[in-house]
Amino acid sequence: MAAAEPPPARMAQALVDFSLYGSFPEDTVSSLPIDAESLPAAIKALADAKAKLQAEIHAINEETAEDVKTWQANAQLVQDDILRSKALAAEIVKAAEAPVVSGQAVDEIEARADFLIRELNYNAQVQETLRGIRTVNRTLDEVEQARDERRILDALHLLEKSWKQLDIVGVKSCRAIKLLDVRAFELKSDVHEVFDHVWNALIHVDVDGHTVSIQSSREDEPMNLEDAVIGLRAYKEVDQRMDHLWKNLSQAILLPRMDLAKAALPGIRVEDGVLALRGSADNSIHSLFEDLDQVFSYLVQRLPPDLIDTISSSLLPDTIHRITSVWLDSAVPSSLHDMDGFQVVIEAAKTFCARLRALGFSNFGGLQEWTDNAPKVWLSKCREAALDSVRTKLSQGLGAPRQVEKVEKQMVSKTEGQQLVANAAVATADDHGWDAWDDGEQAGQEETPNGGADEPPGDEDDGTDAWGWGEEGGGEEEAAAEEPKKETKATASQPSKPDDDDDPSEAWGWGDEANTDNTDEANTKEPEPQKAPPVAPRAEPETRELILKETYSISSLPQPLLDLIFSIVQDGAALTKESYAGSPVATQAAGLFSLPTLALAVFRAVSPHYYAPGIGGNMYLYNDSGYLAEQLGEFAAAWKTREDISARAQNMLRLDNDVKTLQSFANRAYTNELAIQKTVLRDLLGGEQNLLHQPDTAASISSATARVLSLGTAWEDILARSVWQQAVGSLVDAVAAKMIADVMDLPSIGQDEAYNIAKLIASVEELDQLFLPSRGQPQDGDGGGGGGKKAEGDEVPMTAQFAGNWLRLKYLSEVLQSNLRDVRFLWVEGELSLYFTAEEVVDLIQASFEDNARTREVIRDVRANVRPLGGDGDEGGGW
C-alpha cells in the first residue's frame, strides 16, 4: 500500500510523522527527490495534521477545565503556605539564635495598652460632650418658654447663659453643637421680635397723626421701659433705636412746628400723656422756645436718664442747628432797624439755653455759641445782606440810563480867559469839553492836533499808572511843566502851519513810537482829564471864576450802591453814639465801616460780567465806576466836616483807597474796551498782513469805517463829549495808523496803485463827520457851542485834534497824488515835515518814482532840509 502511494504523498506523510512522533522516514522515502509538485502536498498534509491536533487539544481542555482551575487554586494555596512556613521558620531560627535582642512582642503589648487608654479618654470626652449638649438643649427649652410668656429679660439672660454653656463645650465641629448654635440664634431672633412688639407698645410715634406716646409700663406687658433699655444694650441697639425715635419725633412734631416757610404753624401740646400738634402758634422765637420746652420736658419725664444722655450727645445738635440757622438767623436784622427786637431774641436764646441745662441736656454748644457771638452774627448778616444786594442789583441789568453833570469851578486870569475864548475852550468847558473823571490837561487836547487822543505814556498794562494817579501829584507837576509850551493852532481839516515850538507829543508825553503799530495797546489808555489850559505865569492881577461843566450817562446801578454804602456808614456812626452804648452790637461799629470796601470789591469783581453784553456796556462801566468814585470822594470829604457825628466815626470812615481803586477800575474798563475795538478794527484791516494785499481792500476799509461810525453813534449818548472824542479819535487813529504803516511797507508804488490808495484814503475821510463841531453842540444853546462852529456846510472837522495820524494820513494821500516838484514843495515850503521824517519821505519817493537824476536831486533836497520849518531838530512829527 505504501508502495502504491505516489512520492509526494509519501513525502508528506514522512513530514507529518516526524512532526508528531519524531520518527525518521525510511531510506526509500528520504531518498526521494524533492520537486515543485511535492511541496504543496507536504504543506497541505502538515496543515491538516495541525488542525486535527488543535481540535483534539480543545476537546481535552473543555473536558478538564474545572479540574485545572481547582488544581491551580490549590497550587496557589500550597505555594502561599510554603512561603509563610518559610518566613515563620526563618523568624523562629532568628529568635532562637538571638532571644535577648527581640522586643517586638513588648512593643506590641505597649501599643495595645496606649490604644486602650485613648479609647477610654475618648469615651469620657464623648460622655462629657453629651452632658453639655443636654444642658444647652434644656436651657434653650427654657428660653422658648420665657419667650412664649413674654419674659424678655429672662429670655435674654437664658440666651446669654446658653451661649456661655456652648462655649464650655469643647467640641465645636460636632453636628449637634452646630444645630444647637443655629437654634440659639433663631431663638434670639424670635425674642427680638417679641421685644419689638413690647418696645413699640411702650413708645409709639404716629408720624401721620403727629402724636408721640411714651409709657414707662403697661398692664398687658410684663416689661417696663427701663427693662427695655437693658434689652437695647443686649442687642447693642441703643443708638439705632434712639436715632429712629428722634427721626420719627422730628417728622411728627418738630419739623412741622419749625417750618418757618409756612404761613400757619401748629402748636405743641401734652394731653393725657401724649405729645401732639394741636392748635396754632405764631412764628416768634418765644413761641418756638416754649413749644420746644414742652418737647424736651416730656422726653426727660418719660425716658430713662441713660437715653437722655444719648439725645444730648448725638440727636440734639440737629435741632439746635435748625434753630440757629433758620429761626435765629432769620431774626437777625441787616441794619440797626429793629435792634430792640434783636435784643429780645438774644435774651430768649439765653433763657432757652439755661432751660436745657436745667433739664440735663449738655450738648447744645451751637445755641450757646450763637448767643455769645450774637454781635458778630449781626455783623455777618449785615455783610451778607450788603453783598447780596450788590449781586442782586447787578443781576437785574443796567436799567434805564440817566444823565449826570460834572461841574467844576476854576480861577483863571484875564489872559488865560482870552486864550480859552480864542480856542473856544470856555464854551467847550461849559458844555462838552470837561472830562468829569480825571484831573489832567484839557488844554493840550484842544490846542494841539492830537490833544484828545488817548495815547498817554507809561505802563501799557495799567491805565492808572499811565496817568500818574495815586502819585501824590507827580503827574500834575509834569503836565504843568509842559503847559507853557502850548500855543493855539488851527484845527482845519486841511494842513495848517503851527508854530515850530509846539510839539503836540510833548504836551502829552507821547513818544515817537506812536508812529508804529505797537502803540495800539498804549492808545487804549484812559482819557486825559480836560481842564482849561493854564498858561505861563504872568503878572495878571485880575482873575475870574470859570465854571466848567460836562454831562454824561450812567446806568441805574450806581445810585442803589451809593445808597447802600451811605446807609451802612450811617449805621456805623450811630453805633459810636452814647445812645447805643448798651447795645450788644455797639462793638461792631468798625466792622460796619469796613463793609463799603467789600461791597465795592464785589461790584468790581462781578460787574464786568453784567456790563459787557450790552451795547456800550464797558463804557457804562467806565462812567458808573467814575461816578461812584466821585460821589464817594465828595461824601468822604463832607463826612469829615459833619458835626452830628462823633470824632471816632469821622476817623473810622476811610474811602480814599476805594476811590482810587474805583478810578483805576474805571480806567481799565475804558482801556480794555478800546483795546478790544482796536483789535477788531485791525482784524478787519487784514490783521498782521498788509491791507493793500487783501483780495478786497475796499470792502475791508468800508467794514472798518462802518464799525467806527457805529461805535461812535453808540458811545455818543453814553460818554462825556471830551471822553467820546478821545475814544472815537483813538479808533480813527488806529485805522489811520494801520493804513499808513501798510503803505510805507510797500516796496514800490505804481502810478495807478498810488491813485487807488489815495481813493481808499478818501473813503476813510468819511470819518470826519464824527468830529464836526455841530455834532457835539447842544440844541438848546444852554451850554455854549462846541467850539469852532462855522456855517452849515462849511464846518471844519476837528478829527486831527483827536486822531494823531489823521493829518499824517491826509498828507500821505497828497504825496501819492503829487509829482516830484509838488513833493519837494510840500517838504520845503509846506508842512509835510511836521508829519513825516526825511527818511520816510525819501522812502516814498524811491517807491513811487523812477531812479533818475531828477529823483536823486529831490532826495538830496529833502535830506538837506531835515526840518525846513525850524524847530528843535525833531525829525519825527511826534505822531
**Residue tagged 467820546 (cell numbers):** 724
Residues with Cβ within 8 Å of 27's Cβ and at least 6 positions away in sequence, in order, are: none
DSSP states along 510-535: --GGGGSGGGTTGGGSPPPP--PPP-
pLDDT at 602: 94
Residues with Cβ within 8 Å of 855's Cβ and at least 6 positions away in sequence, in order, are: 820, 845, 846, 849
- Kindly tell me if the per-residue pLDDT of 627 is higher than 90: yes
User: Do residues 489 and 449 lie in contact, with contact meaning Cβ atoms separated by under 8 Å?
Assistant: yes
Pick the last residue of a domain from 802, 817, 832. Answer: 817
CA dihedral 577, 582, 583, 587 (to 10 degrees): 70
pLDDT at 301: 87
pLDDT at 619: 93
pLDDT digits (tens, 9 = 90+) for 268-310: 988 888 899 988 888 888 899 999 999 989 888 888 877 777 7
Average pLDDT over residues 492-505: 34
Number of Cβ within a 10 Å radius of residue 717 = 13
Residues 335 and 260 placed together within one structural domain of the fold = yes
* Distance from C-alpha of 467 to C-alpha of 472, rounded to nearest angstrom: 12
Bridge partners of 409?
547
Residues 56 and 177 placed together within one structural domain of the fold = no
DSSP-assigned letter for residue 275: E
Average pLDDT over residues 132-158: 74
User: Do residues 357 and 312 lie in contact, with contact meaning Cβ atoms separated by under 8 Å?
Assistant: no
pLDDT at 417: 61
Q: Is 558 inside a domain boundary?
A: no
* Distance from C-alpha of 700 to C-alpha of 687, rounded to nearest angstrom: 11
E strands within 288-426? 402-413
Residues 499 and 542 placed together within one structural domain of the fold = yes
Comparing 774 with 206, the larger pLDDT belongs to: 206
- Kindly tell me if the per-residue pLDDT of 423 is higher than 80: no
- The pLDDT-based confidence of 99 (bands split at 50, 70, 90) is low
Map residue 866 onto helix, strand or coil.
coil
* Distance from C-alpha of 711 to C-alpha of 718, rounded to nearest angstrom: 11
Taking CA 431 as the corner, what is the angle to CA 426 and CA 437, rounded to the nearest 5 degrees?
100
Q: Is 656 inside a domain boundary?
A: no
Map residue 815 onto helix, strand or coil.
helix
pLDDT at 430: 42
Residues 163 and 294 placed together within one structural domain of the fold = no
Residues 194 and 241 placed together within one structural domain of the fold = no
Q: Is 111 inside a domain boundary?
A: no
Residues 64 and 141 placed together within one structural domain of the fold = no
* Distance from C-alpha of 401 to C-alpha of 627, rounded to nearest angstrom: 13
| Domain range for 133 | 126-206
* Distance from C-alpha of 214 to C-alpha of 199, rounded to nearest angstrom: 10
pLDDT digits (tens, 9 = 90+) for 738-756: 999 999 999 998 888 999 9
Average pLDDT over residues 167-194: 71
Average pLDDT over residues 80-87: 81
* Distance from C-alpha of 410 to C-alpha of 483, rounded to nearest angstrom: 16
User: Do residues 561 and 393 lie in contact, with contact meaning Cβ atoms separated by under 8 Å?
Assistant: yes
- Kindly tell me if the per-residue pLDDT of 513 is higher than 60: no
Least confident stretch, 92-96, 120-124, 395-399? 92-96
Amino acid letter, residue 266: P
* Distance from C-alpha of 845 to C-alpha of 758, rounded to nearest angstrom: 15
pLDDT at 740: 93
Average pLDDT, the chain: 76
Bridge partners of 439?
none
Among 460, 462, 480, CA closest to 470:
462
C-alpha cell at 476: 500834575
Q: Is 348 inside a domain boundary?
A: yes
In what helix (H) or strand (E) does residue 285 lie, and over which residues does it extend? helix 285-302
Pick the last residue of a domain from 167, 183, 206. Answer: 206
Q: Is 464 inside a domain boundary?
A: yes
pTM for this entry: 0.63
Average pLDDT over residues 835-839: 90
Average pLDDT over residues 35-51: 79
Burial of 77 (0-12, 13-18, 19+ CB in 10 A): exposed
Residues with Cβ within 8 Å of 419's Cβ and at least 6 positions away in sequence, in order, are: 425, 488, 533, 535
- Kindly tell me if the per-residue pLDDT of 163 is higher than 70: no
Bridge partners of 406?
550
User: Do residues 795 and 424 lie in contact, with contact meaning Cβ atoms separated by under 8 Å?
Assistant: no
- The pLDDT-based confidence of 601 (bands split at 50, 70, 90) is very high
Q: Is 388 inside a domain boundary?
A: no
* Distance from C-alpha of 784 to C-alpha of 570, rounded to nearest angstrom: 40
Residues 63 and 12 placed together within one structural domain of the fold = yes
pLDDT at 662: 94
Distances (CA, A) of 733 to 137, 458, 730: 107, 19, 5
How do beta strands 211-214 and 265-271 pair? unpaired
Distances (CA, A) of 218 to 146, 200, 205, 215, 226: 18, 12, 16, 7, 12
pLDDT digits (tens, 9 = 90+) for 457-496: 333 333 333 233 333 333 333 333 333 333 333 333 333 3
pLDDT at 879: 31
User: Do residues 270 and 294 lie in contact, with contact meaning Cβ atoms separated by under 8 Å?
Assistant: yes
Map residue 819 onto helix, strand or coil.
coil
Distances (CA, A) of 352 to 289, 318, 323, 346, 369: 7, 16, 11, 10, 13
- The pLDDT-based confidence of 554 (bands split at 50, 70, 90) is very high
Residues 179 and 327 placed together within one structural domain of the fold = no
Average pLDDT over residues 175-185: 73
Half-sphere exposure in the Cβ direction for 540 (13 Å, CA)? 16
Map residue 582 onto helix, strand or coil.
coil
Amino acid letter, residue 619: M
Distances (CA, A) of 578 to 342, 582, 591: 19, 8, 18
pLDDT digits (tens, 9 = 90+) for 792-813: 456 788 899 899 999 999 999 9
* Distance from C-alpha of 626 to C-alpha of 615, rounded to nearest angstrom: 19
- Kindly tell me if the per-residue pLDDT of 736 is higher than 90: yes
pLDDT at 497: 33
In what helix (H) or strand (E) does residue 269 lie, and over which residues does it extend? strand 265-271
Tell me, rounded to whole angstroms, the distance of Cα 626 from its chain centroid. 31
The rounded percent of the chain whose pLDDT value lies above 90 is 21
Q: Is 441 inside a domain boundary?
A: yes
pLDDT at 707: 93
- The pLDDT-based confidence of 217 (bands split at 50, 70, 90) is confident
pLDDT digits (tens, 9 = 90+) for 224-244: 777 677 766 766 777 777 788
- Kindly tell me if the per-residue pLDDT of 446 is higher than 50: no
pLDDT at 776: 63
- Kindly tell me if the per-residue pLDDT of 41 is higher than 90: no
Average pLDDT over residues 30-43: 75
Pick the last residue of a domain from 795, 817, 839. Answer: 817
Burial of 141 (0-12, 13-18, 19+ CB in 10 A): middle
- Kindly tell me if the per-residue pLDDT of 872 is higher than 70: no
pLDDT at 113: 83
Residues 350 and 415 placed together within one structural domain of the fold = no
- Kindly tell me if the per-residue pLDDT of 173 is higher than 80: no
Number of Cβ within a 10 Å radius of residue 136 = 24
pLDDT at 777: 62
- What backbone torsions phi and psi does residue 405 show, to the nearest 5 degrees? -125, 140
pLDDT at 624: 94
pLDDT at 621: 94
- The pLDDT-based confidence of 150 (bands split at 50, 70, 90) is low
pLDDT at 829: 87
Residues 201 and 291 placed together within one structural domain of the fold = no
Residues 412 and 354 placed together within one structural domain of the fold = no
pLDDT at 416: 65
Among 616, 765, 629, CA closest to 702:
765
C-alpha cell at 256: 412741622
The rounded percent of the chain whose pLDDT value lies above 70 is 75
Number of domains the chain contains: 4
Residues with Cβ within 8 Å of 639's Cβ and at least 6 positions away in sequence, in order, are: 569, 645, 650, 653
How do beta strands 402-413 and 543-554 pair? antiparallel
Among 335, 340, 331, 328, CA closest to 382:
335
Residues 343 and 270 placed together within one structural domain of the fold = yes
DSSP-assigned letter for residue 452: T
- The pLDDT-based confidence of 76 (bands split at 50, 70, 90) is confident
The residue count of the chain comes to: 879
pLDDT at 121: 83
Least confident stretch, 131-140, 610-619, 628-637, 758-767? 131-140
Least confident stretch, 314-323, 636-645, 687-696? 314-323
pLDDT at 261: 81
* Distance from C-alpha of 410 to C-alpha of 416, rounded to nearest angstrom: 11
Q: Is 230 inside a domain boundary?
A: no
pLDDT at 538: 45
- The pLDDT-based confidence of 790 (bands split at 50, 70, 90) is very low
- Positive/negative CA dihedral, 482, 485, 487, 489: negative
Burial of 55 (0-12, 13-18, 19+ CB in 10 A): exposed
- The pLDDT-based confidence of 873 (bands split at 50, 70, 90) is very low
- The pLDDT-based confidence of 550 (bands split at 50, 70, 90) is confident
